[in-house]
Structure 1
Amino acid sequence: MSAVPGSEERFKESLELAVKYAKELSCSKIHILAGLKPTSSPKGNVRCFNKMEQTYISNLKYACSRLKKDNILGVIEPICPQAVPNYFLDSFYQAMKYIKLINEPNLKLQLDFYHLQRLHGNITENLNMFFPYVGHIQISQVPDRHEPDSDGELDYHYIFNLLQSLEYSGFIGLEYKPKGDTIDGLKWLKTFPNCSIG
């Protein structure tokens, strides 16, 4: 709800609860969700977008200040319309604009390859461009959002090698829908060197 005008106090309360859970679980990152654009607003309504953008920037600044007290990283994630229609943050370039504008070390990009491919494609060039701002990575196959080794548009052997060459050392979240049983769906890890569940 961080981009939803009128929800500022609710956002702050929600953030406090998230911090409480993060501290109890020794979690060092919190995903700050932007929220949805109103469906009643005509597509391309500039005034509505500008108001949401102002709210989003203000709330992100507040979140950075609040999270800094507990040494927590805030991450923002662009989400494609196929996954969440009308989501406010629907472009990686838009996300980078806010990260650079706010310019706080504890605000980073949550890069989900599913959304990157759906929104922009051009994985190699975009990963190289966005990588210095990445705080967390998530994966799934495109278009069906199944296991990374399932049939689809993305070659995760290539992507993992690219991440290794960029010296990515963080966790990679498995945000996919298993084609069948969850445990059976994890067998793909055996075919990828240096992959394990942490």
Structure 2
Amino acid sequence: MPRFAANLTMMFNEVPFSQRFKAAADAGFGAVEFLFPYDHPAESVAEWLQVAGVRPALFNMPPGDWAAGDRGYAALPGRQEDFRHTVNKAIDYARIIGTPFLHMMAGIADGTDAAAKRTYRDSLKFAADATAEIGVGLVIEPLNKRDMPGYFLDDFDRAADIIAELDHPNLKLQFDIYHRQIMHGDVLKGLEKMMPIIGHIQTASVPKRNEPGTGELNDARIFQVLDELGYGGYVGCEYRPTGDTVAGLGWMQAI
């Protein structure tokens, strides 16, 4: 069975963020991930991790003003200075928190626009170089248009092509099973094909993004295939519990 990391942005919302680390540990998780830690001092996050005895698996670079609709600046021409600021801030946090991966959000932009494509590749090179300097991996994640309309990176094959073209040893794919199923289906073949470039995996049921085993996919079989493919990283549980988080963790025992 893969190693699972609780996503503390979505799970354990019954308690404040600072208490979710221990809640995850008490529920049997050895690692956690979260979207954005920037509302809290990095030193506090590191302390919560240490006290709870859990490892960080991943968090995102700052997306900009989320409430205003920002979803990253990486593909936005004219926002390169803002983008580099977000990279530097993420690196400052990563140094203290000790995460193995940072996820770089692309932003809302036309995926066919030549200027956006150039900007995105330049941003990737800058971020991959910067994260490599501190020994932290960089991942990019395609997101489906239903959940994230207008997102620049909305295709797994295009993401794989970009990774191949840049050919940077520090750049990997974040393979979200939920997004993959909605965009392309064929989850098992996608995992098999892309495993050499995968850095991190996330999961949730489809279509409602709840606990694994509650949707249209055979999640237990997918987790078995991850073992067969030799995946040794964490699987981030980026789902919305249908009720109490702990009460909904029966799927872990079931598999």
Do both proteins adopt the same fold according to a TM-score greater than 0.5, normalized to the shorter chain?
A: yes
Amino acid at match of 1:29: F
> Which whole-Å CA distance do the structure 2 matches of 1:121 and 1:146 have between them?
18
> Which whole-Å CA distance do the structure 2 matches of 1:106 and 1:72 have between them?
8
- Shift in Å, 1:180: 0.8
TM-score after normalising by structure 2: 0.70
- Shift in Å, 1:110: 0.2
> Which whole-Å CA distance do the structure 2 matches of 1:4 and 1:77 have between them?
17
- Shift in Å, 1:29: 0.6
- CA deviations on 1:2-44 (whole Å, 9 max, x unpaired) are 1111111111111111011111111111000000027xxxxx8
> Which whole-Å CA distance do the structure 1 matches of 2:148 and 2:224 have between them?
29
> Which whole-Å CA distance do the structure 1 matches of 2:93 and 2:254 have between them?
34
TM-score after normalising by structure 1: 0.89
Q: How many percent identity over aligned positions? A: 39
Amino acid at match of 1:189: M
> Which whole-Å CA distance do the structure 2 matches of 1:91 and 1:153 have between them?
21
Match of 1:196 in 2: none
Residue 85 (structure 2) aligned to one of 9, 13, 21:
13
- Shift in Å, 1:187: 2.4
- CA deviations on 1:141-187 (whole Å, 9 max, x unpaired) are 0000000021x221111101100000111011000111111221222
Match of 1:62 in 2: 126
Structure 2 unaligned regions, length at least 5: 1-72
Structure 1 unaligned regions, length at least 5: 39-43, 193-198
> Which whole-Å CA distance do the structure 2 matches of 1:52 and 1:24 have between them?
32
> Which whole-Å CA distance do the structure 1 matches of 2:235 and 2:95 have between them?
21
Residue 29 (structure 1) aligned to one of 74, 77, 101:
101
1:165 aligns with 2:237: no
Cα-Cα RMSD: 1.2
Residue 123 (structure 1) aligned to one of 178, 187, 191:
187
Amino acid at match of 2:141: E
SS in 2 for 1:110: strand
Amino acid at match of 2:137: L
Mean CA deviation greater in 85-94 or 123-132? 123-132
SS in 1 for 2:225: helix
Residue 154 (structure 1) aligned to one of 212, 217, 222:
217
Match of 1:139 in 2: 203
SS in 1 for 2:249: helix
SS in 2 for 1:173: strand
Match of 1:195 in 2: none
Residue 174 (structure 1) aligned to one of 233, 237, 240:
237
Match of 1:102 in 2: 166
> Which whole-Å CA distance do the structure 2 matches of 1:159 and 1:181 have between them?
25
> Which whole-Å CA distance do the structure 2 matches of 1:154 and 1:161 have between them?
13
- Shift in Å, 1:191: 1.1
> Which whole-Å CA distance do the structure 2 matches of 1:124 and 1:172 have between them?
15
- Shift in Å, 1:105: 1.1
- Shift in Å, 1:65: 1.0
Query: Which structure is richer in relative contact order (CA contacts within 8 A, separation 6 or more)?
Result: 2
Structure 1 stretches of 4+ moved >2 Å: none
Amino acid at match of 1:163: L
- Shift in Å, 1:190: 1.2
> Which whole-Å CA distance do the structure 1 matches of 2:109 and 2:84 have between them?
19
